[in-house]
Amino acid sequence: MTRFDWRGFSGMAIAGVVSLTLSVNAAEPPKQPDKFPPNPLELTAPDPLLPGGLNRPLSEPERQTLRKALDELNTQAIAKLRAGDVLGSFEIWNRELRLRRALGFLEEVQALGRVGDIAWRQNLNPQVRVITNRLSAIQTQVQRPLQNQQQVSLPDRAQIFPALGIAYQQVRSPGLALEVYQQMLSEARTRKDSVAEVSLLNTIGQLHLSWFDYPPAIATYEELLQLARSRNDAPNIVTNLAQLAYIHEQAKQSAQAVTYQQQLIEIYQKNPQQALFVPALKIRQGDNFVASQQLDAAERVYQDAFELAQPLGQLAYASDALKKLGVLYRSNNRLEAALQVYNYLAGVQQQAYDTYGVMDALDQIGQIQLQRNAPAEAAKAFQQGLEVAKQINYRVDYFTQQIQKIQAAK
């Protein structure tokens, strides 16, 4: 507030100033600017692309013309974004979204999802929130069409709901997407539409998985497994067993994963074509046994995997099973058993023409012989490893140093 020097004023002047002050105080205070900016999707200013406004129905030629113009706006917005003008690009996109309403809920929802995904990637949280709120408003209208001026026919509703689910995922609102899919699932069950039921359960399960929400994902795929079994649907039984084993592995629930893998193995073993999958699955099962500290069971299935893989010519799986078995034996100080395994492994790697694998197996044999206090046998293994290393000019210095250490210790 301006400060006055009252000493230079006469009584009349003071009275005038007081009167002026009172009149100013009596006036209304200046209007404060709005605390929140207007919603960019709710502006009602006329637009040259839609002179009649949103309430005037459009003919099909008008719809086609508007659709083409809005696609061009989208192209312009993309160009601005690529040029680094983020705010400018979303001004254009918001205009596009406002006008998309004239083309109906389905096209608007699809556009909202597309732009919402870009906004999320650009970390524009207010824009994402505005788009999400508009999607929720559309969902409310579609769910209760009779309570709104805008009627939604059943065929349109059947298209809009899946689009809403996708759009909610694009704005990273899995909870809202799940609401939509659960409602669609309930309606599919009411119609006894088993195809839609399975499809929606798969969508729900995948959505839980994508957000690492394992308990509800497991529950969903358990439900799918029960449905597949009740319909004797062999392919989907296998698919759901595999998915449940995978989810339990991701959730670090190794013991539960083993159960589903065993059921898969039993199915595969009954079919000669599927029996080819058993060695790889037994190796994974062995890993889960190790993780759950069931070491005897792990040893058994690794041995099974090797014995099944070798006659099938699956040398990579045979080698993998032996490596894991060797690690298991060494970690439990079963050196004689480990030595036998790595000798087998060297032979398998030779069969597979895997020079690096042969060299690594010989290195393991040498290390185990040192643990057994057998330096002569260790030196022999390292010497064999050196000869292989020279062939590929790799780890030559390492094997040479190992031999020199043994010789120096004599």
pLDDT (tens digit, 9 = 90+) per residue, 136-191? 999 999 987 544 445 566 668 889 999 999 999 999 999 999 999 999 999 999 99
What pLDDT was estimated at residue 10?
Answer: 33
Q: Which of 347, 328, 350, 349 is nearest to 337 (CA)?
A: 328
Residue 115 above 70 pLDDT? yes
Decide if 127 contacts 90 (C-beta within 8 A).
yes
- Six-digit token pair at 300? 């058994």
State pLDDT tens for residues 78-98. 999 999 999 999 999 999 999
What pLDDT was estimated at residue 152?
Answer: 63
Q: Model-level pTM?
A: 0.83
What pLDDT was estimated at residue 43?
Answer: 78
Residue 33 above 60 pLDDT? no
Mean pLDDT, to the nearest integer, of 25-37?
48
Residue 64 above 80 pLDDT? yes
Residue 28 above 80 pLDDT? no
Q: Which of 307, 311, 314, 312 is nearest to 286 (CA)?
A: 307
What pLDDT was estimated at residue 8?
Answer: 36
Residue 391 above 70 pLDDT? yes
Mean pLDDT, to the nearest integer, of 344-364?
96
What pLDDT was estimated at residue 11?
Answer: 37
Distance CA 80, CA 230 (A): 55
Residue 312 above 70 pLDDT? yes
State pLDDT tens for residues 194-243. 999 999 999 999 999 999 999 999 999 999 999 999 999 999 999 999 99
Distance CA 152, CA 326 (A): 66
Other C-beta atoms closer than 10 Å to the C-beta of 77 total 22
**Where do the domains of the chain lie?**
66-172, 354-410
H/E element, 218: helix 214-230
Average pLDDT of the chain is 90
State pLDDT tens for residues 95-112. 999 999 999 999 999 999
What pLDDT was estimated at residue 53?
Answer: 87
Residue 49 above 80 pLDDT? yes
Q: How distant is the alpha carbon of residue 116 from its chain centre?
A: 18
Angle at 356 between CA 323 and CA 366, to 5 degrees: 65
What pLDDT was estimated at residue 34?
Answer: 45
Q: What number of residues does the chain have?
A: 410
Other C-beta atoms closer than 10 Å to the C-beta of 22 total 10
What pLDDT was estimated at residue 144?
Answer: 72
